[in-house]
Amino acid sequence: MRLVQEAVAAQRAVVVPTSGSSGPPKRVLLSMSALKASAESTLSFLGGPGQWLAALSPRHIGGLQVYLRSAVSGIPPATLEDDGPFGAGSFTAAVAAMRPGTRHYAALVPTQVHRLLAEPAGREALASLDRVLIGGAPLPAASVAALDRAGVRWTHTYGMTETAGGCIYDGVPLPGVAVRLEQGPAGGRILLSGPILAQGYLQDPVATAEAFVTEAGVRWYRTSDLGRYDEVRRRWKILGRVDEVINTGGHKVHPDDVSSALCAMEPVVDAAVVALPDPQWGERVVAMLVPAAGGPPVEALTRPTGWVRSRLRETLPRYALPTQVRWSDTLPRLASGKVDHAGVRAAFTQEGERL
């Protein structure tokens, strides 16, 4: 905590690696002014300073920002005493020990949220916090419903290392952040601007020039994500990564649209949708599903692909229906908590539809 406060005061820049979800991690050069702008905007959105619970690794931007927001607030963060796997026990104990008389915040990834919601003590600890920021990956529909049932005050965040952390909260940009779309063959690529932008990639001028562009005097970061603006709700919706759009028979399929439809089915609690090569269609849609505690019905176990396709025929166009489905106890994930799409593809390549 002291080192973070000294870095803020000295305005030093730091190098933070990306999560590596789309390839080898990049080394992002972030000025302290960008990090501080992100921390201050988040605290403004939340309604003021408070004590944070440090439940994410500070090696990545989500965990680092917890310490920066704590430094800006002037309140040391609460920490998990257990160094083992994240669970409801250590989280509940840390929440109970948080400083009284101030706001209590936490930043989590969906995997952590899922584990906490599975335990009564975890749900109670979540509900006791003034706000829980959830980011790093889409939140399954089942988790959204469980959070609301438990009375948790939560916000879904979107951002990345290149923007010093989350910069769009519940579909609304933080103060000072601008958003626009760059239209392409797969849809609208999201571009972001504001004081939260990184300086670039350390010792990689080519990648920096490709990702950070200046137009009409405004500097923008070209994300790898697609999005659209909902004029009715006045919210931005993230559709998924540009390089994860599935091109099957000339049709563009956004994996998040398919996974959302899958997670709306009983008893699916989580899903990952990826593309596999197909000699006829170019690519085909495949899906890995995580069942609820009771497990899937017999028909879904014996004929997972047919079971899914028959239930989604009226929800998704025919070309977006998964051609191969398998069940798994969990989704493969990276250290950052994001779904390991390469791991999902490997599971299909090695095991097909076998459990």
Q: What is the mean pLDDT of each run of 10 residues along the chain (355 residues)?
A: 53 79 82 95 96 94 96 96 83 96 96 92 98 90 91 97 97 96 82 97 95 97 94 92 91 91 91 94 96 90 95 95 95 81 89 45
Look at residues 179, 183, 188 and name the one whose alpha carbon lies nearest to residue 218. Answer: 179
Helix residue ranges, H only, the chain: 2-10, 32-46, 61-73, 88-96, 110-117, 120-128, 141-149, 205-211, 255-263, 298-302, 304-312, 341-351
pLDDT of residue 353: 43
The three-state secondary structure class of 270 is strand
pLDDT of residue 140: 79
Pick the CATH number of 2-167 from 1.25.50.10, 3.40.50.12780, 3.40.50.2020, 3.90.1010.10: 3.40.50.12780
Torsion of CA 109, 75, 160, 140, to 10 degrees: 20
> Where, residue-wise, is CATH 3.40.50.12780 in the chain?
2-167
> Where, residue-wise, is CATH 3.30.300.30 in the chain?
245-351
- Beta-strand relationship, 218-230 and 14-17: unpaired
> Quick one: tokens of 44?
């403004």
pLDDT of residue 5: 53
The secondary element (H helix, E strand) that includes residue 275 is strand 268-278
pLDDT of residue 355: 36
Helices 255-263 and 304-312: angle between axes, nearest 10 degrees: 100
pLDDT of residue 85: 80
Sheet strand arrangement including 324-327: 268-278, 282-291, 324-327
Superfamily of chain region 245-351 = ANL, C-terminal domain (3.30.300.30)
pTM recorded for the entire structure: 0.82
CA distance 348 to 139: 23
